[in-house]
Amino acid sequence: MTALSCDRVRVERGRRRILDDFSLHLEAGRAVAILGPNGAGKSTALGAALGLIPMAAGAVTLDGRPLAGWSRTERAGRLAWLPQDAPPQEPLPAWEWVAAARYRFAESWADAQSAAHRVLMEMGIAHLAERVVTTLSGGERQRVALAALFAQDAEIILADEPASHLDPAQQLETYARLGRQVRSGRGLLIVTHDVNLLPALDCPVEVVGLREGRTAFTSPYPGDRLVDGLEQLFGVTFDAVAVAGRTLIAPRVGAS
């Protein structure tokens, strides 16, 4: 079973510590959500976990081996990444962007193309297949990026604000798809500002609250410590409300 571990990771920019003493363990078949205010270090945590950001201290391991010891192709079979905002630089048709995500497979380009079209169809965006990605709207581009993420077929998914640019129906569907990935045995590390999208995963979620680069709290969703933790993170009062059998958490208007 694939496992990703961050052990006391520290990331610095100049004299500022962006991430400090950050630890996390994620196994395939489990979901962890990182929440926190802007500038808390959430995206940096993902970048460090992927080996994309240099560390000043600490270690990241994949299945007990240092991340640097894995080849790029090996790593791509275990870790798939959806960045928060990575506009495509090449004017490629959408299907080609998705097909390129399958570079780790020993398959023909025709098979990669077929797989890309299949994923686009499964996601209900087959009509975007021939559209040039640089001409797509933010929401369309996000859905194609998600298709590329799923086409990579990795064992652990790291997703930074996967519902950004999407309308409410698409947000729920995106989280539902990610939840199905977890229930099928994949791991999920997700950064989000919207705690109320987590129930759409329909699987157990461990919430990690980050503040100024350090872990402020951990709690299952929903959990007794979650509301208190969110209030400390964001400095506002939250209420937990039962709606249609689920717990929703909302900031209290006018309260702080």
Instruction: Report the alpha-carbon distance of residue 256 to residue 250 in Å, rounded.
Output: 13
pLDDT for the residue 143: 94
- The pTM score is 0.92
For the chain, percent of residues with pLDDT exceeding 70 = 97
pLDDT for the residue 90: 80
pLDDT at 8 over 90: yes
Burial string for 16-39 (b: 16+ CB within 10 Å, else e) reads ebbbbebebebebbbbbbbbbeee
pLDDT for the residue 118: 97
According to DSSP, the β-strands at 3-13 and 16-27 are antiparallel
Instruction: Report the alpha-carbon distance of residue 175 to residue 162 in Å, rounded.
Output: 8
According to DSSP, the β-strands at 57-62 and 79-82 are unpaired
User: Average pLDDT for residues 136-163, to the nearest whole number?
Assistant: 94
In this structure, how many other beta carbons lie within 10 angstroms of the beta carbon of residue 167? Answer: 10
Mean pLDDT of the chain: 92
Task: Extract the tokens encoding 168.
Answer: 């409410």
For the chain, percent of residues with pLDDT exceeding 90 = 80
pLDDT for the residue 94: 95
Judge residue 184's burial from the number of C-beta atoms within 10 Å of its C-beta, 0-12 exposed, 13-18 middle, 19 or more buried. Answer: exposed
pLDDT for the residue 254: 67
- So where are the chain's domains? 3-251
- pLDDT bucket at 43, cuts 50 / 70 / 90: very high
pLDDT digits (tens, 9 = 90+) for 200-250: 999 999 999 999 999 999 999 888 789 999 999 999 998 888 887 788 888
3-class DSSP state for residue 107? coil
pLDDT for the residue 225: 86
- pLDDT bucket at 15, cuts 50 / 70 / 90: confident
Q: Where are the beta strands (DSSP E) in the chain?
A: 3-13, 16-27, 31-35, 57-62, 65-66, 79-82, 156-160, 187-191, 205-211, 214-221, 238-243, 246-251
pLDDT at 122 over 60: yes
User: Average pLDDT for residues 95-109, to the nearest whole number?
Assistant: 93
Instruction: Report the alpha-carbon distance of residue 248 to residue 239 in Å, rounded.
Output: 8
Which carries the bigger pLDDT value, residue 243 or residue 110? 110
Contact indicator for 22, 34 with CB cutoff of 8 Å: no
pLDDT for the residue 253: 76
3-251 sits in which CATH class?
alpha beta
pLDDT for the residue 239: 87
- pLDDT bucket at 184, cuts 50 / 70 / 90: very high
Task: Extract the tokens encoding 201.
Answer: 């995963």
